[in-house]
Structure 1
Amino acid sequence: MAPTKRKTDAKPEVARTTTRVTRSSTRQATTTTTTKPVAEPVPKAKKAKLTPKQKPEPKPKTTEAPPAAAAVVANGGNSSKTIVIEHCKQCTQFKIRAVKVKDGLEKAVSGITVLVNPEKPRRGCFEIREEGGKKFISLLDMKRPFGPMKALDMDAVISDIIDQVK
């Protein structure tokens, strides 16, 4: 039989304390050793609950004119043309062309108001129209890579719209 190993060669065991270490206890240990006091978070203000008889204070109503009406007031009461450019937010190519048309129209025609996406735009849409009237360009339900829109010569489009507006 082989001789058995003696326990004298083994390392003596150190008595372990059973202290549980948690995240909060480590935070407390680090905050007590630092010299700077840690600011406690400020509790959020709670909303006051209203009793059934109480009513919330009404918010003051602002009387802002819509953009088209503001343009009429700015021109001294003369009615000005309002052009609406509706472009899809799916791709930046729509926005690039819309901004180019807006800048071109505002520089060429004085007293014109150009609105870009006054309402939520349709998907795959690039449309330039007079507010409540004639449509200059209407490209609807375009699929990628938006060929009909990319085929447009934007300088020619802007000059056509300027001729029709004047």
Structure 2
Amino acid sequence: MAPRKKTTVEPSGRVTRSSARVTRSGTRQAKLDPISPPMKKAKKSPKQPKAKTAKPSSSVPVEKQVAETDTKSAHGDGPKKTIIVEHCKQCNSFKTRALHVKQALEKDLDGSVTVVLNPDKPRKGCFEIREDGEDGETFISLLDMKRPFTPMKELDMDKVVSDIVDRIKA
């Protein structure tokens, strides 16, 4: 809604109306107005150079580097396995199932396994749980799913997690 116009009565008896409208030309005139004191600009401090963050020189993602450096389990009874859960970012149902699998595996296997979600860019319509490495076992692989993603939604995630735990312990 536009601002109301102000009405003033001059000494000669004439009524004038003025609005509170501010335009670009009006602001220029206000800057040139000798009645108001000129505004001083705040001094800027000199720019400091930003600290550069060191990027890893290799093309291996950071999650994989962390997994490679932490190869011993917390109990020290052998190498720590890495499970990769690749899930599509198209729908939130992929993410909720992937987080459920991650939490359940970490709880059931007590630190003898590292679960990584999407170390690389995920494929479209993909939900895959696999072991890391060239000879890594693929536990579940649902690829190129179309909406409404019924193959993934029909899965019982608790049963899938228990099957994965049994295969890893064996």
Q: What's the TM-score, normalizing by structure 2?
A: 0.65
Q: Runs in 1 of length 4+ with deviation above 6 angstroms? A: none
Greater percentage in strand: 2
Alignment partner, residue 98 of structure 1? 98
SS in 2 for 1:138: strand
Q: Equivalences for 1:38-117 in 2 at 5 Å?
A: 39-40=41-42, 42=44, 66-73=65-72, 75=74, 78-110=78-110, 111-117=112-118
Deviations 1:37-66 (A, max 9, x none): 464484985x9xxxxxxxxxx986668771
**1:22, CA displacement in angstroms?**
2.4
The number of equivalent residue pairs is 135
Confirm or deny: 8 A CA contact 2:85 2:127 kept in the other structure: yes
Point out where structure 1 has 5 or more consecutive residues left out of the alignment: 1-20, 48-57
Confirm or deny: 8 A CA contact 2:72 2:80 kept in the other structure: no
CA distance in 2, matches of 1:28, 1:74: 70
For the pair 1:118 / 2:136, whether they are aligned, the reply is no
**1:153, CA displacement in angstroms?**
0.5
Confirm or deny: 8 A CA contact 2:105 2:161 kept in the other structure: yes
Larger radius of gyration: 1
Aligned-pair identity in percent equals: 46
Point out where structure 2 has 5 or more consecutive residues left out of the alignment: 1-23
Q: What's the TM-score, normalizing by structure 1?
A: 0.66
**1:69, CA displacement in angstroms?**
1.3
